[in-house]
Protein backbone atom coordinates (compact mmCIF):
# COMPACT_ATOMS: atom_id res chain seq x y z
CA UNK A 1 0.00 0.00 0.00
CA UNK A 2 3.03 2.28 -0.26
CA UNK A 3 1.77 5.04 -2.48
CA UNK A 4 4.52 5.51 -5.05
CA UNK A 5 5.63 9.07 -4.64
CA UNK A 6 5.79 11.22 -7.70
CA UNK A 7 9.43 11.94 -8.48
CA UNK A 8 8.36 15.48 -9.24
CA UNK A 9 7.86 16.20 -5.56
CA UNK A 10 10.85 16.72 -3.31
CA UNK A 11 9.87 13.71 -1.25
CA UNK A 12 9.76 11.60 -4.36
CA UNK A 13 13.18 12.81 -5.44
CA UNK A 14 14.40 12.21 -1.91
CA UNK A 15 13.37 8.56 -1.78
CA UNK A 16 14.71 7.91 -5.27
CA UNK A 17 18.11 9.38 -4.41
CA UNK A 18 18.05 7.48 -1.12
CA UNK A 19 17.34 4.29 -3.00
CA UNK A 20 20.26 4.81 -5.34
CA UNK A 21 22.56 5.34 -2.38
CA UNK A 22 21.24 2.47 -0.30
CA UNK A 23 21.36 0.00 -3.16
CA UNK A 24 24.92 1.16 -3.91
CA UNK A 25 23.83 2.09 -7.40
CA UNK A 26 25.84 5.15 -6.46
CA UNK A 27 28.89 3.97 -4.55
CA UNK A 28 30.27 5.67 -1.43
CA UNK A 29 32.66 8.41 -2.47
CA UNK A 30 31.30 8.56 -5.99
CA UNK A 31 30.17 11.89 -7.41
CA UNK A 32 26.51 12.20 -8.25
CA UNK A 33 24.98 14.32 -11.03
CA UNK A 34 24.51 17.99 -10.33
CA UNK A 35 21.23 19.55 -9.35
CA UNK A 36 20.44 20.92 -12.78
CA UNK A 37 20.91 17.55 -14.50
CA UNK A 38 18.86 15.71 -11.90
CA UNK A 39 16.13 18.31 -12.27
CA UNK A 40 15.99 17.55 -15.97
CA UNK A 41 16.00 13.80 -15.35
CA UNK A 42 13.14 13.99 -12.86
CA UNK A 43 11.29 16.66 -14.78
CA UNK A 44 11.16 19.05 -11.86
CA UNK A 45 12.69 22.37 -10.86
CA UNK A 46 16.23 22.62 -9.51
CA UNK A 47 14.82 23.99 -6.26
CA UNK A 48 13.00 20.71 -5.75
CA UNK A 49 16.14 18.64 -6.26
CA UNK A 50 17.96 21.04 -3.96
CA UNK A 51 15.44 20.48 -1.21
CA UNK A 52 15.75 16.71 -1.50
CA UNK A 53 19.54 16.83 -1.51
CA UNK A 54 19.64 19.22 1.42
CA UNK A 55 17.77 16.67 3.51
CA UNK A 56 20.23 13.96 2.51
CA UNK A 57 23.14 16.21 3.39
CA UNK A 58 21.64 16.98 6.80
CA UNK A 59 21.29 13.25 7.39
CA UNK A 60 24.98 12.88 6.60
CA UNK A 61 24.43 10.66 3.58
CA UNK A 62 26.02 12.94 1.04
CA UNK A 63 28.76 15.55 1.14
CA UNK A 64 28.19 18.75 -0.76
CA UNK A 65 30.63 21.43 -1.78
CA UNK A 66 30.10 24.35 -4.08
CA UNK A 67 31.67 23.99 -7.42
CA UNK A 68 33.13 20.60 -6.40
CA UNK A 69 29.71 18.99 -6.56
CA UNK A 70 28.03 16.33 -4.47
CA UNK A 71 29.38 12.92 -3.47
CA UNK A 72 27.98 9.98 -1.59
CA UNK A 73 29.45 10.15 1.91
CA UNK A 74 32.45 7.92 2.42
CA UNK A 75 31.84 7.02 6.04
CA UNK A 76 28.15 7.01 6.58
CA UNK A 77 27.87 8.20 10.17
CA UNK A 78 24.62 7.04 11.61
CA UNK A 79 22.94 9.99 13.19
CA UNK A 80 20.85 9.22 16.24
CA UNK A 81 18.31 11.73 17.41
CA UNK A 82 17.34 11.49 21.05
CA UNK A 83 14.42 13.44 22.41
CA UNK A 84 15.03 14.30 26.03
CA UNK A 85 11.67 15.08 27.58
CA UNK A 86 10.72 16.36 30.98
CA UNK A 87 11.20 13.47 33.43
CA UNK A 88 7.54 13.49 34.42
CA UNK A 89 6.59 12.89 30.79
CA UNK A 90 9.22 10.21 30.41
CA UNK A 91 7.67 8.32 33.30
CA UNK A 92 4.13 8.88 32.10
CA UNK A 93 5.02 7.64 28.62
CA UNK A 94 5.82 4.31 30.28
CA UNK A 95 2.27 4.24 31.62
CA UNK A 96 3.53 4.71 35.13
CA UNK A 97 2.41 7.22 37.70
CA UNK A 98 4.95 9.89 38.47
CA UNK A 99 5.86 11.31 41.84
CA UNK A 100 8.64 13.59 42.99
CA UNK A 101 10.24 14.07 46.39
CA UNK A 102 12.64 16.83 47.33
CA UNK A 103 15.38 15.43 49.55
CA UNK A 104 17.58 18.42 50.08
CA UNK A 105 17.68 22.12 49.40
CA UNK A 106 20.62 24.33 50.31
CA UNK A 107 22.33 27.51 49.25
CA UNK A 108 26.06 26.95 49.41
CA UNK A 109 29.20 26.94 47.28
CA UNK A 110 29.37 24.05 44.83
CA UNK A 111 32.18 21.49 44.67
CA UNK A 112 35.09 22.77 42.62
CA UNK A 113 34.45 20.16 39.94
CA UNK A 114 31.04 21.73 39.34
CA UNK A 115 31.87 25.40 39.68
CA UNK A 116 34.91 25.20 37.44
CA UNK A 117 32.99 23.40 34.72
CA UNK A 118 30.41 26.15 34.88
CA UNK A 119 33.13 28.78 34.74
CA UNK A 120 32.12 30.23 38.09
CA UNK A 121 34.15 31.37 41.04
CA UNK A 122 34.57 28.60 43.59
CA UNK A 123 33.02 30.61 46.42
CA UNK A 124 29.92 31.57 44.46
CA UNK A 125 26.85 30.49 46.37
CA UNK A 126 24.63 28.21 44.34
CA UNK A 127 21.30 26.53 44.92
CA UNK A 128 21.74 22.82 45.50
CA UNK A 129 18.75 20.54 45.02
CA UNK A 130 18.57 16.80 45.44
CA UNK A 131 15.40 14.89 44.67
CA UNK A 132 13.93 11.57 43.67
CA UNK A 133 11.59 10.84 40.79
CA UNK A 134 9.37 7.81 41.25
CA UNK A 135 7.58 5.66 38.69
CA UNK A 136 4.69 3.73 40.24
CA UNK A 137 6.17 4.49 43.66
CA UNK A 138 9.47 2.83 42.79
CA UNK A 139 12.57 5.05 42.60
CA UNK A 140 13.12 5.92 38.94
CA UNK A 141 16.00 8.33 39.08
CA UNK A 142 17.90 10.61 41.39
CA UNK A 143 18.32 14.23 40.35
CA UNK A 144 21.28 16.09 41.78
CA UNK A 145 21.31 19.69 40.65
CA UNK A 146 23.23 22.94 41.12
CA UNK A 147 21.68 26.18 39.94
CA UNK A 148 23.47 29.45 39.30
CA UNK A 149 21.47 31.87 41.45
CA UNK A 150 22.52 34.97 39.58
CA UNK A 151 21.47 33.51 36.23
CA UNK A 152 17.96 32.51 37.26
CA UNK A 153 16.23 35.37 39.02
CA UNK A 154 13.57 34.33 41.49
CA UNK A 155 14.67 30.73 41.73
CA UNK A 156 15.38 31.11 45.44
CA UNK A 157 11.72 31.69 46.17
CA UNK A 158 10.40 28.65 44.25
CA UNK A 159 8.92 25.81 46.28
CA UNK A 160 10.73 22.82 44.81
CA UNK A 161 8.77 20.38 46.88
CA UNK A 162 5.75 21.25 44.77
CA UNK A 163 7.37 21.17 41.34
CA UNK A 164 10.51 19.38 40.24
CA UNK A 165 13.49 21.53 39.38
CA UNK A 166 13.67 19.70 36.08
CA UNK A 167 10.24 20.89 35.10
CA UNK A 168 10.40 24.37 36.61
CA UNK A 169 13.65 25.23 34.90
CA UNK A 170 12.57 23.96 31.50
CA UNK A 171 9.49 26.11 31.71
CA UNK A 172 10.93 29.19 33.36
CA UNK A 173 14.61 29.53 32.65
CA UNK A 174 15.79 30.31 29.18
CA UNK A 175 18.74 28.54 27.71
CA UNK A 176 20.50 28.61 24.41
CA UNK A 177 22.65 25.50 24.44
CA UNK A 178 24.08 22.75 26.58
CA UNK A 179 26.43 19.83 26.94
CA UNK A 180 25.24 16.34 27.72
CA UNK A 181 27.22 13.29 28.75
CA UNK A 182 26.10 9.67 29.13
CA UNK A 183 28.08 7.23 31.20
CA UNK A 184 27.92 4.13 33.39
CA UNK A 185 28.85 4.13 37.06
CA UNK A 186 28.77 1.75 39.97
CA UNK A 187 25.93 2.79 42.28
CA UNK A 188 27.86 2.95 45.54
CA UNK A 189 26.39 2.95 49.02
CA UNK A 190 24.71 6.35 49.10
CA UNK A 191 23.02 6.17 45.71
CA UNK A 192 22.03 2.56 46.27
CA UNK A 193 20.19 3.67 49.37
CA UNK A 194 18.34 6.39 47.51
CA UNK A 195 17.39 4.19 44.59
CA UNK A 196 16.69 1.06 46.67
CA UNK A 197 19.30 -0.73 44.61
CA UNK A 198 22.27 -2.98 45.09
CA UNK A 199 25.40 -0.88 45.84
CA UNK A 200 27.23 -3.00 43.24
CA UNK A 201 24.64 -2.30 40.52
CA UNK A 202 25.56 -0.44 37.34
CA UNK A 203 23.85 2.91 37.02
CA UNK A 204 23.10 4.83 33.85
CA UNK A 205 24.13 8.43 34.41
CA UNK A 206 23.33 11.56 32.45
CA UNK A 207 25.22 14.76 33.14
CA UNK A 208 23.89 17.93 31.64
CA UNK A 209 25.02 21.54 31.77
CA UNK A 210 22.89 24.25 30.23
CA UNK A 211 23.86 27.76 29.24
CA UNK A 212 22.19 31.00 28.29
CA UNK A 213 24.59 32.72 25.94
CA UNK A 214 27.89 32.51 27.85
CA UNK A 215 26.28 32.22 31.26
CA UNK A 216 25.93 28.88 33.03
CA UNK A 217 22.42 28.14 34.23
CA UNK A 218 22.53 24.75 35.85
CA UNK A 219 24.44 21.52 36.13
CA UNK A 220 22.47 18.36 36.75
CA UNK A 221 23.32 14.72 37.25
CA UNK A 222 20.60 12.14 36.68
CA UNK A 223 21.27 8.69 38.11
CA UNK A 224 18.77 6.17 36.78
CA UNK A 225 17.70 3.13 38.76
CA UNK A 226 19.32 -0.12 37.58
CA UNK A 227 17.77 -1.65 34.49
CA UNK A 228 17.10 1.63 32.77
CA UNK A 229 17.91 1.91 29.10
CA UNK A 230 17.64 4.66 26.59
CA UNK A 231 16.63 3.78 23.11
CA UNK A 232 16.03 5.35 19.79
CA UNK A 233 15.72 4.75 16.08
CA UNK A 234 18.39 5.36 13.53
Partner DNA sequence: AGCTGCATTATGTGTGCACATATTAACGTG
Partner DNA sequence: CACGTTAATATGTGCACACATAATGCAGCT
How far is Cα 230 from Cα 203, in angstroms, rounded to an integer?
12
Partner from a second copy, DNA, none binding residue 3, C-beta < 5-8 Å depending on class: none
Query: Is 20 a binder of a second copy (CB under 8 A)?
Result: no
Query: Is 94 a binder of a second copy (CB under 8 A)?
Result: no
Angle at 206 between CA 201 and CA 207, to 5 degrees: 125
Question: Which DSSP symbol is given to 61?
Answer: S
Q: Cβ closer to a second copy: 65 or 231?
A: 231
CB 175 within 8 A of CB 216: no
Partner from a second copy, DNA, none binding residue 10, C-beta < 5-8 Å depending on class: DNA
How far is Cα 187 from Cα 35, in angstroms, rounded to an integer?
54
Q: Cβ closer to a second copy: 157 or 177?
A: 177
Which residues between 9 and 68 bind DNA (CB under 7 A)? 9-12, 34-36, 43-48, 50-51, 53-54, 57, 64-68
Q: Cβ closer to DNA: 63 or 167?
A: 63
35-42 helix and 46-58 helix, angle to the nearest 10 degrees? 120
CB 215 within 8 A of CB 148: yes
Question: Where on the chain is the footprint of a second copy (CB under 8 A)?
Answer: 22-24, 28, 60, 75-86, 89, 170-171, 174-186, 200-205, 208, 210, 212, 224, 226, 228-234
Amino acid sequence: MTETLDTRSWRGVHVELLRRIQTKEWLPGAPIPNEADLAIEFGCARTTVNRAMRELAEAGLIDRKRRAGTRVALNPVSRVVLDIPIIRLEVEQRNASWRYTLLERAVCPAPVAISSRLGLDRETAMLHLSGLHFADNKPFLHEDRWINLSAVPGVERVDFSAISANEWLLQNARFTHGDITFSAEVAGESRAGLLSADPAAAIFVVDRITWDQGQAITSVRLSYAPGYDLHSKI
